[in-house]
Amino acid sequence: GWQRANWELRNTRTGEMLSGKINGKVTEKIKHGDFLQLSNKRIDDQVNIVILENDDEGERATDNTLGNNILDEIIIQPSSPIKVNECVLQSLQADITMQDTEVIVNAAKLELNGGGGGDGAIHRTAGPDLERASKILAPCHPGSAVLTPGFGLQAKWIIHTVGPQYQDGKQGECEVLASAYRSCLIIALKSGFTSITFPAISTGIYGYPKDAATEIAWDTIAQVLKENKDISLKLVRVASLNDETYDSLNKALGKWII
């Protein structure tokens, strides 16, 4: 298994190579949501190991197979949550329409009439009442946000925002993207919401480079939370179903680990 001398383990968030058993102080270097990459020094095959939710015995890994070899189970110590101003920050690989936070964010079009990707999925799940309510509030210009009920969603409320379409990074895209996150959080704070789930705004068909977009996301979220001391928000998530985007979210969130 991976604990033998011919195996190395690389933490893809930090780039650090770990070898030998994961125990003792080594566990302190691994955080919830990390991707650990197992490399066999003798051949080119690799496997990704994903750290899952913690249970009573600690956090566990899955997908821990390499060809016909079954690897030892990895158990690490549960990590402390990442917090800014007592608000927990989480990256999540999940369907945003299934989130049970008090409010979710819809990366919408200017017309607020639904579309493809997460926008379309939110409209389909919420039902036709959402489009009728959204039309009253349209247009929603890039960087701004509006609030509607969640209708058929688990979340009671939806904040709709329009992100920038990426061109070359020199057309104010960064400022518009940051404004989209900030506008949503201002609505959430003024509404007294306790939990919110964002998508990775503009990283889909709008083409914003994922690493840059996710850094802007977490930097803006953390900045707003720092600026507002007495807040109701206790949980802020950013979710994506896409593997590459989720990896970028984890890397960007890693800089806020204290």
Helix (H) or strand (E) holding 130: helix 128-137
| DSSP H or E segment with residue 197 | strand 195-199
Of 34, 44, 119, 129, catalytic: 119
Which amino acid is residue 114, in one-letter code? G
Give me the amino acid identity at 95: D
Amino acid making up residue 134: S
- What's the number of CA atoms in the CB half-sphere (13 Å) around residue 49? 26
User: Rounded to whole angstroms, how far apart are CA atoms 90 and 87?
Assistant: 10
Is-catalytic flag, 63?
Answer: no
* Interatomic CA distance for residues 192 and 20, integer angstroms: 48
Would you name the residues annotated as active-site residues? 119
